Amino acid sequence: MPNAIYVKHLSFKYKNNNFYSLSDISLTIKANKCTGIIGPNGAGKSTFISALCGLLPSFEGQVFYDENQMQPLIDSVKEKVALVPQEYAFYPQLSVKQNLYYFLSLCVESKKRKEDKHAFISEILEQCVLTHVSHIKVSKLSGGYKRRLNIAIALVKQPKVLFLDEPTVGIDPESRAIIITLLEQFKAEGKTLLFTSHMLDEVEKVCDDIIILKDGKASLIEQTQQKNLLLSVEFEQEPSSTNFLSGYQKIAACKYQLLLTSPEELNSHLLQLSQLKVSIKNIHYSANSVEHMYKQGTTGNKL
């Protein structure tokens, strides 16, 4: 699997803080996949994205988009990367179409687009379901349309890597569904996506890998780990001996959980539990959910 981004010992501290917002993060992000970035408010998600987009004034460590680590970060960002920020990033006094033409004029690629730039803009409008409002002044549009325009502007650059910082926050269900469909389309086109959201069901639906940020530290959850099985067991009372629960994690009184890698391993543990002389109150197994991983906060490879 090819990689798109290489992060080595990334650390960053804001000038007036006595703590690091990002602390010694090293990881690789796969190409042509969607990687989710989740964590509580203040965990460093936006700062992490800013570092990878070359928007921080300075940081410790290295970020590369070039496997040979030869191309400077800012050159890679100019060539390959677009960011859809949390904030609206357009001119509200202009129409949707006028905004797209303006941002296209700023792109180096626009100089090569003399014959087909109108078709190109029309294609973006259609893809983002904005054609029917293309002549409306943006200030008069709802939040859902504005979020989609944010994405459309990023597409003008034809990026290979697309960062989306909470692109579905504060919008209606219809616009949210359109944006999630767009993310699926971008993946099918071979784009590399990095996507932040507090809506964990969105992350679970569209993301292949997940980065959990907490207190400036990062844990990487790869696709294979997400597809593991989670076995939960609750006993009538605390077992007098817990030797048979080796590998389980105690999550509450009489409650234990175990992450399994295959149905065969699940069957083996269920058989073992059935043969014990211990009263079981409840037993449950399911796919390992993003919500569970988020709550645990330490699942995966600690980086």
C-alpha span between 133 and 210 (Å, rounded): 35
Check whether residue 37 and residue 99 sit in a common domain: yes
Domain that holds residue 277: 228-287
Residue 130 counted as domain residue: yes
- pLDDT digit string, tens, across residues 121-152: 999 999 999 999 999 999 999 999 999 999 99
Residue 99 counted as domain residue: yes
- pLDDT digit string, tens, across residues 233-261: 999 888 877 788 888 888 888 888 887 77
Check whether residue 202 and residue 236 sit in a common domain: no
| CATH number of residue 80's parent domain | 3.40.50.300
Check whether residue 42 and residue 179 sit in a common domain: yes
Average pLDDT, the chain: 86
Check whether residue 220 and residue 233 sit in a common domain: no
Is pLDDT of 90 > 70?
yes
- Name the residue among 38, 55, 62, 14 with its Cα closest to residue 218: 38
Check whether residue 236 and residue 151 sit in a common domain: no
Q: Give the number of domains in the chain.
A: 2
Check whether residue 184 and residue 143 sit in a common domain: yes
Check whether residue 125 and residue 257 sit in a common domain: no
Least confident residue range of 70-74, 92-96, 103-107, 272-276: 272-276
C-alpha span between 16 and 38 (Å, rounded): 25
Range picked from 2-6, 7-11, 241-245 for highest mean pLDDT? 7-11
Under the banding of pLDDT at 50, 70 and 90, the label for residue 226 is low
> pLDDT at position 110, please?
57
Residue 112 counted as domain residue: yes
Residue 155 counted as domain residue: yes
The pTM of the full predicted model, rounded to 2 decimals, is 0.76
Residue 293 counted as domain residue: no
Check whether residue 235 and residue 192 sit in a common domain: no
The set of residues, in sequence order, having a beta carbon less than 8 Å from that of 169 and lying 6+ positions away, is 86, 147, 197, 198
Residue 294 counted as domain residue: no
Please give the C-alpha separations between residue 140 and each of 107, 136, 166, in angstroms, as whole numbers.
27, 7, 22
The label of the residue with tokens 């995966």 reads 300
Is pLDDT of 113 > 80?
no
